[in-house]
Homo-oligomer: A and B are copies of this chain.
Amino acid sequence: MSEELSELLDGVGVASEDDQDRVISNIVANKEPEEVALLLEALPFNQRLESWDNVPQEEQLAILVAMRSDPRESLLDEMPLESFDVLFQGMEAEDLVELSESLPSRLVDRALRAMDQKQRSYFEGAKQYSEDLAGHWADHHLLVLPQNAKVRDGLRLLRREIPIYADTIFLINRTGHFSDALRISRIMGAPDHLPLVDLSEESIAVINANDSAVDSALKVQKSVFTALPITDESGILLGRLDIGTSCQLANEYYERQLMAGAGMDEDEDLFSPIVKSAKNRAIWLGINLLTAFLASWFIGLFEATLQQVVALAVLMPIVASMGGIAGSQTLTLMIRGHALGQITHSNFRDLLKKEVGVGIINGVIWSLVIGGVVSVWFDDPMIGIVIGLAIIVNIVIAAISGAYIPVILNKFKLDPALSGSVILTTGTDVVGFVAFLGLGTMLLL
């Protein structure tokens, strides 16, 4: 995909202005909406708008739905009001759920008026659950039959239409409660009069609408079904979470984590306006600045020492950075473990012991290496001893911090992927500087 996209992108780039029209139409006609969405996101602002004008109106909805919200909004903002009527024609609830976060409420209302009663009620249903809950992402293209249906009924249903990503028929009772699921494959060739219940799957995982969306998405991915039923608290079948939506939720989750490492949003537009970008990123720089000032303040406590032994100033960054790296290794492993539910009370102590063990081994090894090099560099074994001791202290404390930080942040419902590394490096910076300069003050003056 990535290579193909690059080629398309270069194609758009080299096309003359008169040619753009033809090039874009050609791409839209031959590629999936998701690929066109990626392409549009990769175009600089003006070029993106020009290209968008060449996308046939009937293709626009699927492409907008597939785009990240920031670049999507850059297009929606420029669209003339009357074009929304075309956009909203025949739109389904699932599309509006995706788009509504990018639309002013006025336009959402307009879209709702263009929908039939059923789609409108699906939309209202989805809006009862926040984005991070499975219920928000319920799809309503279901194969459903009453509990007492026969194979004959199943075949009739399949002949009408099999929705995309549907490999099972869901059975419900008279009150709309989910009862069973059976694979389409099992009714092919089965006797007409057989009750479907007799062919149902032994066990299919059921998603509660209030379950975490990401957890549910991963559950669908691992389930060997292409969709799992979503029910409300009382067990009434609301819809399904299909594997297409699950892939999108899982990939967004991972991208959010990757972007969070740099304090950015998953929706960040490659070509968002400069001022908007600068503003988005300034907050993270500000937070980081506070932590940097904190570290500096601690260094300032040792001004007198630094004045006398300037070598300490030269070597300071080494101690801080070794602690930061060692701590981030533990932290990264722990964050993954927590996200997968693999870390609990029952194994945390063992994990901590292991991480501290790793910290001690690496602390000792690297303190010997660094101590040795520094002793030779500054021709003073005492400085070597000071930095060696500081390295051990900082690496071991970094391991302990890396293990505890996600536990504590989770307790306060904060995302360790976002704030974990700032807190960790602030800690390892401060501990590193204080240990090194403190030991220096004691042993070198």
Contacts and interface: CB of A to CB of B under 8 A. Distances in A.
A222 B339 CA distance: 25
Interface stretch (A169-177, A232-240, A354-362): A354-362
Interface in A284-329: 284-286, 288-289, 291-293, 295-296, 299-300, 303, 306-307, 310-311, 313-318, 320-322, 325-326, 328-329
A343 B318 CA distance: 35
Interface centre among A10, A162, A254, A344 (most CB of B within 10 A): A344
Nearest to A221: B247
A247 B87 CA distance: 31
Contact of A358 (B3, B158, B243, B274): B274
A357 B276 CA distance: 11
A314 B326 CA distance: 24
Assign chain A's interface to a size class.
35 or more
Interface string A141-176: 000000000000001001111101101000000000
A145 to B, nearest CB: 15
A12 to B, nearest CB: 7
27 contacts: A1-B219, A1-B222, A2-B339, A3-B341, A5-B341, A10-B344, A10-B346, A42-B344, A44-B351, A162-B188, A246-B247, A259-B332, A262-B333, A264-B333, A270-B342, A270-B343, A271-B354, A274-B361, A277-B358, A278-B357, A281-B358, A288-B321, A289-B318, A296-B318, A303-B311, A306-B310, A307-B310
